[in-house]
């Protein structure tokens, strides 16, 4: 399918769920994750160029709905996303999302896309890209505590970007662990289901925590965490939802995306407002150190930030231009005379 001409700008490319699945498989899942990580790293390096704001959130007792906007002055993007842990018991997704990227010069949207799958991919790509800077050199084993919808994406991203080849898996729901084992068999991993979080972290150089319950939980206690590991803490992502005992934070060098958001939503919501953290973009841009020693505990308090969605939307926008995996939506008014919107309405009579 060819790109629209200037006179067809009212027709916006739309990537459906089916389109996204076809696009990812045409590229390859591993190559998609690598490509997303490249775009993410590029945008983290130019972090200071972006307009940034914490996500706009509407919280209820059962979940949260959020808007996540970002702009680099040339393009504007946002994502709509929800997080409803109770949905799984009702046969629904915990997280669903869609997003849009627009031309800042005209204000016209240039892409509308599903982002449920894309968010899973970009979250995993972000974790693995960050781990390249913070994880111990030569790390091969990762503990995955919480074996829900994000697990396989995290595992594959850590394999292709960081060299992880051994997974130790734990979830309070053993069927979730069985699902991961089933999906990742023949994907190049040694897979070890575990009976507890304590067992899962034995011998792991990277520990990923990714649970869904909206509560202040203690998935890892201080005595479970030995020196030298990297903790990829991505499940604490809204107010009142954490996974780590606060004493772990006191022993770790903590890296975050955007402090004004992470202090509200991340693991560091447990800490005083002046608790010291390093913004991960500063490490990626070479302004501050990441991992500095073999015994250092590094902790990525990843809550997800709008610039990551901007990077993912930019990646899909560029890839869609090379494929036919999209359709056009007639979603913008296009009167013959830009001042005569009413006249356009009358055409339908």
C-alpha to C-alpha distance for 280 and 45, rounded to whole angstroms: 10
- HSE of 327 in the Cβ direction (CA atoms, 13 Å)? 9
* Structural domains in the chain, sorted by start: 11-117+307-346 (3.30.1780.10), 136-304 (3.40.50.720)
Read off the pLDDT band of 217 (50, 70, 90).
Answer: confident
pLDDT score of 8 = 57
Q: What percent of the chain is modeled with pLDDT above 90?
A: 84
Inter-CA distances, 84 with 80, 221, 238, Å: 14, 26, 11
pLDDT score of 211 = 83
* Per-residue pLDDT tens over the stretch 78-90: 999 998 989 989 9
C-alpha to C-alpha distance for 194 and 322, rounded to whole angstroms: 43
The answer to whether residue 237 is catalytic is yes
Q: In the predicted model, is pLDDT for residue 3 greater than 80?
A: no
pLDDT score of 239 = 79
Out of 237, 253, 301, 309, pick the active-site residue. Answer: 237
SS (H, E, C) 235-261: CCCECCEEEECHHHHHHCEEEECCHHH
């Amino acid at each position: 399918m060819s790109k629209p001409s200037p006179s067809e700008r009212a027709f916006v490319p739309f990537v459906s769920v089916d389109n996204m699945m076809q696009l990812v498989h045409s590229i390859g899942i591993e190559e998609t994750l690598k490509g997303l990580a490249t775009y993410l790293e590029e945008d983290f390096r130019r972090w200071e160029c972006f307009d940034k704001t914490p996500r706009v959130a509407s919280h209820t007792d059962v979940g949260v709905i959020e808007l996540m906007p970002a702009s680099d002055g040339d393009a504007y993007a946002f994502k709509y996303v929800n997080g409803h842990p109770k949905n799984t018991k009702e046969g629904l997704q915990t997280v669903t999302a869609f997003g849009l990227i627009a031309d800042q010069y005209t204000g016209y949207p240039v892409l509308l896309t599903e982002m449920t799958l894309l968010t899973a991919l970009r979250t995993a790509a972000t974790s693995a890209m960050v781990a390249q800077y913070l994880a111990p050199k030569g790390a091969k084993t990762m503990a995955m505590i919480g074996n829900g919808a994000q697990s396989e994406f995290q595992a594959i991203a850590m394999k292709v970007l960081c060299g992880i080849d051994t997974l130790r898996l734990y979830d309070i729901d053993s069927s979730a662990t069985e699902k991961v084992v089933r999906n990742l068999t023949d994907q190049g991993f040694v897979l070890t289901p575990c009976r507890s979080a304590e067992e899962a972290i034995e011998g792991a150089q990277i520990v990923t925590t990714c649970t869904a319950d909206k509560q202040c939980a203690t998935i890892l206690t201080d005595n479970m965490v030995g020196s030298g590991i990297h903790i990829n803490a991505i499940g604490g992502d809204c107010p009142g939802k954490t996974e780590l005992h606060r004493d772990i934070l006191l022993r770790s060098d903590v890296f975050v995306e955007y402090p004004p958001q992470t202090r509200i939503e991340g693991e560091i919501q447990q800490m005083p407002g002046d608790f010291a953290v390093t913004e991960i973009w500063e490490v990626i841009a070479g302004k501050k150190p990441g991992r500095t020693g073999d015994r250092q505990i590094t902790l990525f308090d990843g809550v997800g930030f709008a610039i990551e969605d901007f990077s993912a939307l930019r990646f899909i926008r560029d890839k869609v231009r090379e494929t036919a995996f999209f359709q056009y939506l007639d979603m913008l008014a296009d009167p013959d005379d830009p001042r005569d919107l009413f006249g356009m309405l009358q055409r339908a009579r």
